[in-house]
């Protein structure tokens, strides 16, 4: 079967048979004004499409012995509208994703350095992103875990309007905690 110029894209998710690609003796025909023409022979439906200067497009498959549903329409415009819908759906999906930003520092990080990191972290949180705070322990610092917790609490006190999502957890030589912006209906502030 020869593919038309609209259907030769391998990445195309939806494939529609048009005009002579349709392999059915009878089709349920819908005209360009969305009027149901009923079940008609294929050649009559194709004749209706060519008279109106449009394409006959199979939009529904064969189900329970019923003939396929075919619609008379401009196929190029139809494909353009489908691509537009897909693009808009993907854009909305990208926008709705919550990004997780990470801030790393050591237990011995100075207060001024923590303030600079807190300003950047606050920008991330204000943009709607979640924040993963990681304290990296090296060498003998692992035996001074309480120093890391003190530094973490100092950092959290610099952030405004945040809530801690779970407790601080040790993964190997790293202590991590997730933080997010307090929603307007939440009245509890975990880090105040």
CATH number at residue 26: 3.10.20.80
In this structure, the answer to whether residues 128 and 176 fall within a common structural domain is yes
Q: Is residue 1 part of a domain?
A: no
- pLDDT of the residue at 132: 92
- pLDDT of the residue at 2: 47
Range of the domain at 142: 98-181
- pLDDT of the residue at 116: 92
In this structure, the answer to whether residues 68 and 141 fall within a common structural domain is no
Domain count, the chain: 2
What confidence tier does 118 reach under pLDDT thresholds 50, 70, 90?
Answer: very high
What confidence tier does 94 reach under pLDDT thresholds 50, 70, 90?
Answer: confident
In this structure, the answer to whether residues 127 and 167 fall within a common structural domain is yes
User: Is 56 within 8 Å of 70 (Cβ atoms)?
Assistant: yes
| Structure-block tokens of residue 159 | 């952030």
Q: Is residue 4 part of a domain?
A: no
In this structure, the answer to whether residues 88 and 109 fall within a common structural domain is no
- pLDDT of the residue at 10: 45
pLDDT (tens digit per residue) in 129-150:
888 999 999 888 888 888 988 9
15-19, 114-118, 139-143, 170-174, range with the lowest pLDDT = 15-19
Domain end point (choices 94, 121, 140): 94
5-19, 98-112, 140-154, 155-169, range with the lowest pLDDT = 5-19
In this structure, the answer to whether residues 80 and 61 fall within a common structural domain is yes
In this structure, the answer to whether residues 108 and 177 fall within a common structural domain is yes
pLDDT (tens digit per residue) in 154-181:
999 998 888 888 888 888 889 999 998 8
Domain end point (choices 94, 114, 129): 94
Whole-angstrom Cα distance, residue 154 to residue 177?
A: 14
Mean pLDDT of the chain: 82
In this structure, the answer to whether residues 28 and 89 fall within a common structural domain is yes
């Amino acid at each position: 079967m020869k593919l038309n110029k609209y259907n030769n894209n391998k990445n195309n998710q939806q494939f529609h048979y048009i005009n002579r690609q349709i392999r059915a003796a009878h089709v349920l025909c819908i005209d360009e004004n969305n009027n149901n023409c009923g079940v008609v022979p294929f050649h009559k439906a194709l004749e209706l499409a060519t008279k109106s200067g449009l394409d006959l497009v199979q939009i529904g498959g064969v189900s329970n012995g019923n003939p396929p549903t075919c619609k008379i329409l401009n196929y190029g415009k139809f494909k353009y509208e489908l691509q537009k819908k897909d693009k808009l759906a993907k854009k909305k999906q990208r926008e709705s994703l919550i990004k997780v930003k990470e801030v790393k520092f050591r237990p011995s990080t100075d207060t001024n350095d923590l303030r600079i990191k807190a300003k950047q972290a606050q920008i991330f949180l204000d943009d709607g992103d979640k924040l993963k705070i990681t304290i990296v322990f090296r060498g003998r610092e692992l035996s001074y875990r309480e120093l890391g917790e003190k530094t973490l609490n100092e950092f959290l006190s610099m952030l405004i309007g945040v809530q801690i999502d779970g407790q601080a957890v040790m993964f190997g030589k790293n202590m991590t905690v997730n933080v997010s912006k307090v929603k307007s209906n939440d009245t509890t502030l975990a880090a105040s």
